Amino acid sequence: MPIAPSGTPARADTQPRPAHLVHTRQLSKVYESGTAPVHALRDVNLDVEQGELLVLMGSSGSGKSTLLYVLSGLEQATDGEIHFDGQRIDRMDETALSMLRREGIGFVFQAINLIPHLTLFENVVLPGYLVNVNRDEVDHRATELMGRLGIGALLHRLPAQVSGGEQQRAAIARSMINAPRALLADEPTGALNSASGSAVLEGFREINARGQTIVMATHDVKSACIGDRIVFMRDGQIRGEYRLKDSAVAVEDREAAILSWLSAQGW
């Protein structure tokens, strides 16, 4: 069996990849809250293509963050199907889901959650050591990722010694250390200033350009401009999608086009 970049087993050549990396059907999530149930997701049908940078947009309470948590197995769906890389993950037990999150899915949160007494490098390699016994290989990958994300000179700094944007880029590197099939990001620039947020978005562009599939939830139109496709959510449902076809279009024009489309959706 071939070996993936992280040192974990890869799918054999005789097993073709599915048409979509992520495939959901009639996905629903209901929270019990007092006497009235809260429908966070309602019959969501979503396909995510290999190598795509998909943006989920919607106001607070629209369901975009819940969708990310359900796709990763951090939350359990109430009903419906989730297929990830050809596997039916909504039927997995917690042990199998933990392995999937460790090796197949990277997650970047708005709250950065780096371990404060470890250096950026130590934070990045830690989940890699849990999967790959070859620490030299993990160290090499961490150094490469951090360099690619523009924080190669900060390996031995503590989180408190760098900016919020640099911390978030370290968190992205940490989520990428085991070469996940998909990277999920929940409002990754929400707690950052404009300059730091732009640096984080540039990091996403860089890794997506190398083939990494990314699904990012945001309410920020400027952040959405980096996507290949935007899915608009409201009241737990997908209300429309917009494809950003020409990456050569100026950012200002892309932003104006997205705003116009969102207004038509009732943004």
Cα–Cα distance, 99 to 58 (Å, whole number)? 30
Please state the rounded mean pLDDT for residues 13-24. Answer: 71
Please state the rounded mean pLDDT for residues 215-226.
93
Contact 174, 126 (CB under 8 A): yes
Q: What's the pLDDT score for residue 19?
A: 67
Q: Which residue has the tokens 């730091």?
A: 196
- Whether 75 shows a pLDDT value over 60: the answer reads yes
**Do 54 and 20 meet the contact criterion of CB atoms below 8 Å apart?**
no
Q: How far apart are CA 84 and CA 76, in angstroms?
A: 14
Predicted confidence (pLDDT) at residue 1 exceeds the cutoff of 80: no
SS3 266: coil
pLDDT at residue 189 in the model: 92
Tokens of 111: 């709250």
Question: How far is the C-alpha of 60 from the C-alpha of 1, rounded, in Å?
Answer: 44
Model pTM? 0.88
3-state secondary structure of 137: helix
Does the pLDDT at position 133 exceed 70?
yes
Q: Among residues of the chain, what percentage have pLDDT more than 70?
A: 91
Question: Following CA atoms 126, 216, 4, 168 in sequence, which dihedral angle do they give, to the nearest 10 degrees?
Answer: -30
**pLDDT mean across residues, the chain:** 90
What's the rounded mean pLDDT across residues 112-140? 95
Q: Is 94 exposed, middle or buried (0-12, 13-18, 19+ CB in 10 A)?
A: exposed
- pLDDT band at residue 36, thresholds of 50, 70 and 90? confident
Residue 51 identity (one-letter amino acid)? G
Which domains are seen in the chain, by residue range? 50-76+89-264 (3.40.50.300)
Question: Looking at 10-19, 46-55, 236-245, 256-265, which range is the least confident one?
Answer: 10-19
Half-sphere exposure (Cβ direction) of 114: Cα atoms closer than 13 Å: 28
Cα–Cα dist 58/40, whole Å: 13
Type and span of the H or E element at 144: helix 135-148
Per-residue pLDDT, 9: 40
Question: Residues 6 or more apart from 60 whose CB is under 8 A from it?
Answer: 219
35 or 38, which is more confident?
Answer: 38
